[in-house]
Chains A and B, each alone.
Chain A
Amino acid sequence: MVRVTHWLTFIAFVALLVTGGEIVISHPRFYWGEVGNVNTHPLFVIPVPASRGTVPTGYGYVMPDQNGWSRYLHFEAAWVVVLVGLVYGIYGLWSGHFRKHLIPARGDWTWRAYRDRIAKYMHRERAGGAEESTYNVLQRTAYLVVILVLFPLIIWTGLAMSPSFTSAFPATAALLGGRQSARTIHFFVSWLLLLFLFVHVTMVSLSGFWSRTRAMITGYTRDSEEGQ
């Protein structure tokens, strides 16, 4: 279940990333507060040509408009993340996956545990003992931040941009400082998720990309016949 939800989320995340990028280039300007448009001061501007002629980018070039299918696919992939996330969350609580594999062991709630684990990474020490079959304290923390902070935040900020959803729950936008703030936070959280993806894939590569990936698909590692 953990593996199936992992890969479904991965596919949906890639779709969200690509379509999100397409949506951004239709207006590559970001604002803070409730409103923002070409007549107001941006918080920052991404230096790319826009896919709309109405945005002054200084490039004199308008990219092809891909917003239609991007929006359709963005929301469909978002549903996959939400539904798969619900299944994963319920399964994780019910099966003890969170308790056993994600919440750091009681003795690891110290800076020292984190420091020691970072030192181990620095010395390129091979994972030994319990770490062969479960996650270390840094992995656990990173995964929990992604599951409990970044994904909830990106869903919240996404919904805060929906004029229909916020008509039912205006606080979802108001608490963030407004619709444009929600859009800006949404943008940054997607970068944090992308950063996590980079680090995650790097770490997987360092411990053997194909053997780890095979393990994550089949559930078996080569040297142990036992499923995880």
Chain B
Amino acid sequence: MNPISRRKLIYRGVAAVASIGGLAVAERLASSYGLIPPDGGGIYGPGETLTYACQRLLTARTPAREFPRSMISKNPFANEVAPPNEEFKRLQAGGFRDWRLVVDGRVARPMSLSLADLKSLPIQSQITEVACEEGWSYIAEWIGTPLSGVLREAGVLPQSRYVVYYTIEKGLWGSIDMADAMHPHTFLTMGMNDGDLPVPFGGPLRLRVPRQLGYKSLKYLTHITVTDDIKKFGSGKGSVDPDYGYSWFAGI
């Protein structure tokens, strides 16, 4: 066997140093442009960061796939979560008249909105697909008001980076970056297929993030908080999902 020649060894050394240096520079650049996801550490961090960074460079502003009315699923699958808690039942008994959506954090004008308040905002609809990380999917018409409108009304302060959202279920929360939060297809959804949003599908209020998998579109939304520092929330990985082993970014 030939020993590796000295010249080859030097070339390889230079290449190794250059690639480590290159990685460090790439990391700094990615970080300053907000291309590193909150769960970008650990052994799956490099893959997750590559995915998120590429998606952000490619898809920051691209519209969600929309479908013709004829493709709306006749029998959508609700994938019901655990039975609603006592507070939910109390609000349901009152016809959800006391349901509130609190908007706070880095906003100029914190708000507390009823469903009637939300319905008085411009109402839009989208026919988009819910795709679950398990593999199944369905298409429905979703009716609601874009989250971006509420955020503009509240006056998001500069340098805000994420919108954190909570549900009526304690401990069930998530977040999206500003690109997704301000995306015209990210809806505060109150209706589905020309009716009120049924409870199994997340009624009375569900966040729709159609460019990510279903588990980012949390049901029973009660509270949104705008922040510049996602590390302050939960275990610092952007949502409760990484605590269960699931990625924060679910665009793939």
- Which chain A residues have a beta carbon within 8 Å of chain B's beta carbons? 23-24, 26-27, 29, 34-40, 52, 54-55, 67-69, 71-73, 75-79, 159, 161-168, 170, 173, 179-180, 183, 218, 220, 225, 227
**19 interchain pairs, CB-CB under 8 A:** A26-B134, A34-B67, A34-B137, A35-B137, A37-B75, A38-B136, A39-B75, A39-B77, A52-B134, A67-B134, A67-B245, A68-B241, A69-B245, A73-B44, A79-B51, A163-B64, A163-B212, A165-B59, A165-B251
Interface of B is mostly: loop
Max chain B CB contacts within 10 Å: which of A164, A167, A179?
A164
Cross-chain pair count, CB within 8 angstroms: 129
Max chain B CB contacts within 10 Å: which of A27, A37, A170?
A37
Q: Assess whether B252 is in contact with A164, with CB atoms less than 8 Å apart.
A: yes
Q: Assess whether B139 is in contact with A35, with CB atoms less than 8 Å apart.
A: yes
Q: Assess whether A164 is in contact with B245, with CB atoms less than 8 Å apart.
A: no
State A102–B139 Cα separation when bound (angstroms).
45
Q: Assess whether A173 is in contact with B65, with CB atoms less than 8 Å apart.
A: yes
Q: Assess whether A168 is in contact with B2, with CB atoms less than 8 Å apart.
A: no
A218 and B73 contact, Cβ closer than 8 Å, known pairs A34-B139, A71-B133, A162-B251: no
Max chain B CB contacts within 10 Å: which of A163, A183, A218?
A163
A211 to B: closest C-beta gap in Å: 15
B151 within 8 A of A: no
Q: Assess whether A167 is in contact with B211, with CB atoms less than 8 Å apart.
A: yes
The A-contacting residues of B in range 117-140, CB under 8 angstroms, are 129, 131-139
Partner of B245, one of A35, A72, A161: A72
Q: Assess whether A163 is in contact with B65, with CB atoms less than 8 Å apart.
A: yes
Count of chain B residues near A, Cβ 8 A: 43
State A15–B225 Cα separation when bound (angstroms).
38
The closest CB in chain B to the CB of A55 belongs to B134
B17 within 8 A of A: no
Partner of A75, one of B134, B213, B244, B252: B252
A222 to B: closest C-beta gap in Å: 11
A57 to B: closest C-beta gap in Å: 13
The A-contacting residues of B in range 34-72, CB under 8 angstroms, are 44, 46-48, 50-51, 55, 58-59, 62-65, 67, 71
The closest CB in chain B to the CB of A158 belongs to B252
B10 within 8 A of A: no
The A-contacting residues of B in range 62-103, CB under 8 angstroms, are 62-65, 67, 71, 73, 75-77, 79
A42 to B: closest C-beta gap in Å: 10
Partner of B1, one of A170, A179, A220: A220
Q: Assess whether A27 is in contact with B135, with CB atoms less than 8 Å apart.
A: yes
